[in-house]
Amino acid sequence: MNFTNRITRLREKLAEQQLDAILISSSENRSYFSGFRGSAGYLWITPR
């Protein structure tokens, strides 16, 4: 599965739960959703 598909599925879950966004701080989860392997950072995902 590629990053685009993973983000699409996550956005569907955000919409189902009526959430405005999700902030991902875990390095493992950031890497899973974006491929970023740096030690510091955040990933902010919105439904759109």
Q: How many domains does the chain have?
A: 1
pLDDT tens digits, 3-35: 999 999 999 999 999 999 999 999 999 999 999
Sort residue 7 into left (φ over 0), alpha (ψ -120 to 50) or beta: alpha
> Do 3 and 33 touch, CB atoms closer than 8 A?
yes
Separation between Cα atoms, residue 47 and residue 36, nearest integer Å: 20
Nearest to 25 by CA among 47, 13, 40, 5: 40
In which domain, by residue range, is 20 found? 3-45
Q: What was the pLDDT predicted at 33?
A: 96
pTM of the entire predicted model: 0.84
